[in-house]
Every structure is written in structure tokens, then in C-alpha cells.
Amino acid sequence: MGTVEQVNAYTRIPPFIEIMDSTLRDGEQTSGVSFLPHEKLMIAKMLLNDINVDRVEVASARVSDGEKDAVRMICRYAKQIGKLSNVEVLGFVDGKESVDWIGDCGCKVVNLLAKGSLKHCEGQLHKTPSQHIADILETLDYAESKDMDVNIYLEDWSNGMKDSPEYVYGMLDVLAAKRIKRFMLPDTLGILNPLQVIEFMRKMVKRYPDVHFDFHAHNDYDLAVSNSLAAVLSGAKGLHVTVNGLGERCGNAPLASVQVILKDQFNAKTSIREDRLNDVSRLVEGYSGIAVAPNQPIVGENVFTQVAGVHADGDNKANLYSNALVPERFARKREYALGKTSGKANIDLNLQELGLELTPAQISKVTQKITELGDRKKIVTQEDLPFIVSDVLKHAVPEDKVKLVSYMVSSAYGLKPIASVKVDINGRQYEADAMGDGQYDAFVKALRKIYRGSLGRTFPVLENYSVTIPPGGRTDALVQTVITWNCNGKSIKTRGLDADQTEAAIKATFKMLNIMEGQNDK
């Protein structure tokens, strides 16, 4: 393993780093992921045209007829935009079969899968190194006769360098003289750390200075991005990535993370267009069914969301909590989450963005409400804010003369819900139970019993009941319930806001009861 001194002595960055995306080949090997042909085409289009990756690996040869259809469509599109040579397909050392399959699809580049460790050569192929090399040369000659370019994967290269380096060198000594565009060095089982990558890659570059080496990382130890960087620092000219880090087991190096680290940390040049990284992430997330973690760098839902109020205050004054990863760079925007830790600065920034102007006293009330909600719901979104403002500022009651002391609503399959309610009205407590057609219906019927039976008073008639959820379709969204009541011939409209629909309706009900109590006093 290389020492820190060796790292410093032998690291260098090529002037340009080629990015090859393998989402449609290695990424599709994620458990449970299978792209339809048209989905592959849409992803390939975005990668080639919008993201501007240098190359895309789109399939493995001889997999299925559906796979062949997908490769044909992608190659047809790539030819139309002048990028056919940027499309690659994984082939095998099987004489003519893979080359013919790939050629039939209209593809011109074969990524030939050879064995990069003695253990794989002998244990899987049951061949000697010289036999395997002879087979590779046969496939190479046939591909050349078909006017196809060839890159070579040395599968399990990482274990080859650890356990059988002479086997690796023996392969390269023969193959480096052939017409091979790139040698692609995979850490197939994700076993390397950055110091080992630097040591092994440096040896390869030093021994074969004229060879183009790609590095292909796997993320088993959560080191795929670090190892990719180490490979570039040691002279690798290309890196393999996947969108959202898809891939077998723990996945591959994520495209977005590799791009920003190369650019920001080491001033490396790539051809990637960063403002579409979030778009391709969403596309692949939708087609793959594999959700992106909210805290995934660059493309995660929450990575440009500040929660703490002190951060919002610092950003408002002098961008004190920003770094080079500004959201506008990725066609996104900074958001300030609303919750119990957000404080007035967060709320003020959200109000400004929505164009809402409130007095300091009103902001204080809104802050108090958000803190209250934050104890029950982790994040209150900007979409929730107009609902909260309306709830706080409309129908404010100076004094609650009707208070909910406690209630319980029980429901069971096949049975009507039952509500038990205890309320405080002008300092006296009353209780009642009732059965209803729904939880809220049972609750209102219990209240009616109290008003009619204990107080001898009429309970208002419910005229209209509407529920609104802020846009976004989240199951944890705040619910605004607006209820219209007929109170002695007059209509009263009240609203309640809560993460629970029944609670929101109950809040609207008690606002109405307090308005009615105030009118009775007058």
C-alpha cells in the first residue's frame, strides 16, 4: 500500500478527464432494476445530448431481444446526432458471437470483458493466461475485421494487482501493442482504498505511459468517489460513473458527485453540463424505481435546504452558510425549511419569496404556529406557509371561552366510529359520547349532545366542508379544513390547519364555537 509521501510524490491530474456513464449497463444490474427499451433511449438521449457525457455504455451483448431493440434505437439516435462512436456495448471473449450481436445493433464500439486476475482466469475460465490471451486476440482480430473499435475491461483488476500483478503485466505486455483504444481497470468487488488505487494506478501508468486507462469503481466500502479521485490523481484519463450511483450490490460512483469533486477540489476539466444533473437524476429515479436519498449530494431533495434559523440569518446578511455548491449551478434553488428550529429569519425569507408582507407582530404569531407544528411534523414546507398565515391571521379569537380538554375517537373495521369528548365552556367542564358515520361526525355528534342536553342550546348546522392539501402530493402534508356553519341563520366560515385531517376539522370547529360564544355575550 502506498504511503502519504508516495501519494504526494506521484499524483498528477491529466488536462481532461473522460466520463463514461454505465447507467444503462452496470446501473441496470441493480437488484430490481430493468429498463424498457424506450426508457433506455430516453436516458441515453439525455446523457449524450443534455449532460454531454463523453461515452455511454448501454447494454451487455447477447442478453435478450428487448436489449437488442434498445441498443438499435440508441445507435440510430446517436448516429443522427453524430455521436455513434460514443455508444459502447459490453462484449465477451466468445469468438464472433458478441461482436456480431453488437454489430447487428449498429454499434461500432465493443467493451471486451477479459479477466484481470489470475484467480478469475483459472477459476472461472479454467484456462491458462496464454490460452486466455489467445482467445482475446482472436476476438480482437474479428472486431477489427468488422471495423469496430475495442476497449478492454480487465475484470477483477484490483485483486489482480493485489494477488497476481505479474499476470496483469503479462496481459498488458501483449495487449498494449494491439489496436485497443482504452484499458478499463475495474475495482470489481469494491475492495480498494484510495492509497491502494494510487499505488496500483501509478504502477500501470509508469509501466505503460502511452496507454489510456479508465478506472471503474464500486462502492462496497463507500469509497467509489474517493477511489475515482485517487485514480485521476495517479494518471487515469477516464472514469466510469452511473446516475445516482446505481449498480450491483452497493452501486458505482455517482455521476454528480464525481463531477463536482473533480471540478471544485482539483480544477479538473470535463465536458459535463452541470445544470442538467438534477434532471437526469429525476429521470433515472423514475424509470428505475430506486429513490434518491434526500441527503444525496447534489441531487438529493434536501441538500439545498437550510433548517436552522441561524443559517438563514447568516445567508440573509452575507451568504455566510454557502459554499461552491450553490443550487443555481444545478438549476435548483436554496430553500429554507420551516420547523421548530427555523426561527424568524427562515420564516421572513420564505415570506419574502412568496411576496407576503406581514407586520413583526404577525410574523411572531406565524413563528409561534410553525414552532408548534414543528413539534409534531418535522418539516413545514414553503407551500404550507400561506395556509399557516391564513390560519393565524383569519378568525383570531381574543379569548378562548370554549376549550377542548380531551377527546378520543376509536374506529374499527365494520363498526361505526365512537367519540368521547370533554370540553370546557366558560369555566365548566362537560362530557359526552356519541357514534357517527366517520370520526369527525362522531366528534360533532358528541358536541351536539353537550350543547343540547347540558346547555339547552342549539348547535350550528354544518353547511359545507372542504379539505385542501398544499401542492406536492406528499402524504405528510399539512391539511387545511374550511367549514361553513349556519349559526341562527348567519353563515360563519372557519378554517383549521394540522398534519391530521380530523385535528384540522376540530380546530375549525372550536374557532366557530368561540365566535358564536362571543356573539352570545354581545
**Closest by CA position to 482, among listed 512, 453, 461:** 512
Asked if residues 246 and 284 have their Cβ atoms less than 8 Å apart, the reply is yes
- CA torsion sign for 21, 221, 154, 4 is positive
155: annotated active-site residue: yes
H or E segment and range at residue 336: strand 335-336
Q: What DSSP character marks residue 167?
A: H
CA dist list (Å): 21 to 39, 71, 74 = 16, 15, 14
Q: How far apart are CA 388 and CA 405, in angstroms?
A: 23
Catalytic residue (choose from 18, 25, 67, 248): 25
Residue 137's Cβ-side half-sphere holds a number of Cα atoms within 13 Å equal to 14
Task: Give the residue ranges of DSSP H helices in 342-438.
Answer: 343-354, 360-374, 385-393
Name the pairing type of β-strands 461-468 and 479-487: antiparallel
Q: How far apart are CA 113 and CA 151, in angstroms?
A: 9
Q: How far apart are CA 330 and CA 358, in angstroms?
A: 32
* Neighbour count for residue 351 (Cβ, 10 Å): 20
Asked if residues 492 and 460 have their Cβ atoms less than 8 Å apart, the reply is yes
Residue with cell 441493480: 30
Cell numbers given for 233: 490523481
Catalytic residue (choose from 28, 57, 88, 155): 155
Q: How far apart are CA 380 and CA 221, in angstroms?
A: 35
CA angle centred on 51, ends 46 and 57, rounded to 5°: 70
* Neighbour count for residue 167 (Cβ, 10 Å): 22
**Closest by CA position to 237, among listed 13, 447, 51, 392:** 13
Q: How far apart are CA 250 and CA 217, in angstroms?
A: 11
25: annotated active-site residue: yes
What amino acid positions are annotated as catalytic residues? 25, 155
